[in-house]
């Protein structure tokens, strides 16, 4: 079984391949505004490196949001195009759930709660709270971070805040003795792996024609930024298994 994983909900553009033995390889870039130019290239490079032709894919799983409007549109449209062309299932996993699954997989000894956060500008974050990848304690919401907002959970035990929205909350939430932060955490398509396999095995697939990302908030257009000619490319490939 081979499932292509696509993560474009934030500034990170990440693709990975998961098989019966787990994640085989991952490729990602944290270069801003690179999704439209990088995603299709990354997919081709990833499959070439793994010696897996498109015809051997059994499904495509995409991070479904919330997150960047543009990033989600690019990721979902690419996933739908591949699934339609190959006649294979489209799978979707909520972005915040995949972030929590990724953290728990990276820290199997951890027994506390996880609060993934995606930056939504100013002091607002897209967030949820998990006791395990499939145990959501607080539903997905767009929260304006204020003192005491998560004390109900922090008073019960450790909460680790992760994601690109987490660090800005440290001065407000970090004073609680049970608050933890993981600044090294970077969202990755690998977080989709276990949930994608579970969805495919249980037949939880999406309608290729009508599936839409979960934006949570309405899109607000902003002035485009022209990137310079000499930007540093931060992309790289991580081969996890031969």
CATH number of 3-94+188-239: 3.30.420.40
Model confidence band, residue 135 (pLDDT cutoffs 50, 70, 90): very high
Model's pTM, two decimal places?
A: 0.89
What pLDDT digit, counting tens, does each position of 27-70 carry?
Answer: 999 988 889 999 999 999 999 999 999 999 999 999 999 999 99
**Same fold: 3-94+188-239 with 96-181:** yes
At 87, give phi and psi (nearest 5°). 70, 35
DSSP 1-42: --EEEEE-SSS-EEEEEEETTEEEEEEEE--TT-HHHHHHHH
Determine the distance from the C-alpha atom of residue 162 to the mean position of all C-alpha atoms in its chain, rounded to a whole number.
12
Rounded mean pLDDT of the chain? 92
| Domain 96-181 falls under CATH 3.40.50.300 | no
pLDDT band at 240 (very low <50, low <70, confident <90, very high): low
pLDDT digits (tens, 9 = 90+) for 70-93: 999 999 999 999 999 999 999 999
Q: Domain ranges in the chain?
A: 3-94+188-239, 96-181
Burial track 37-72 (b if 16+ CB lie within 10 A, e otherwise): ebbeebbebbbeebebeeeebebbbbbbbbbbbebb
């Amino acid at each position: 079984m081979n499932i292509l994983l696509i993560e474009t909900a934030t500034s990170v553009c990440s693709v990975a391949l998961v098989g019966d033995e787990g994640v085989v390889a991952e490729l990602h870039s944290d270069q801003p505004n690179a999704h439209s130019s990088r995603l299709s290239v990354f997919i081709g490079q990833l499959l070439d490196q793994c010696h897996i032709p498109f015809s051997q894919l059994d499904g495509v799983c995409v991070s479904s949001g919330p997150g960047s409007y543009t990033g989600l549109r690019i990721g979902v449209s690419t996933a739908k195009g591949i699934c339609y062309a190959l006649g294979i299932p489209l799978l979707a996993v909520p972005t915040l759930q995949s972030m929590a699954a990724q953290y728990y997989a990276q820290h199997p000894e951890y027994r506390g709660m996880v609060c993934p956060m995606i930056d939504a500008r100013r002091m607002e974050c897209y967030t949820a709270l998990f006791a395990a990848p499939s145990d959501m304690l607080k539903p997905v919401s767009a929260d304006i971070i204020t003192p005491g907002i998560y004390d109900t959970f922090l008073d019960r035990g450790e909460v680790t805040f992760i994601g690109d929205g987490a660090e800005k909350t440290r001065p407000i939430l970090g004073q609680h003795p049970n608050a933890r932060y993981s600044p090294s955490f970077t969202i990755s398509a690998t977080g989709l792996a276990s949930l994608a396999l579970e969805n495919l095995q249980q037949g939880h697939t999406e309608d290729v024609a009508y599936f839409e990302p979960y934006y949570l908030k309405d899109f607000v257009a902003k002035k485009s930024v022209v990137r310079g000619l000499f930007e540093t490319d931060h992309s790289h490939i991580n081969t996890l298994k031969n």
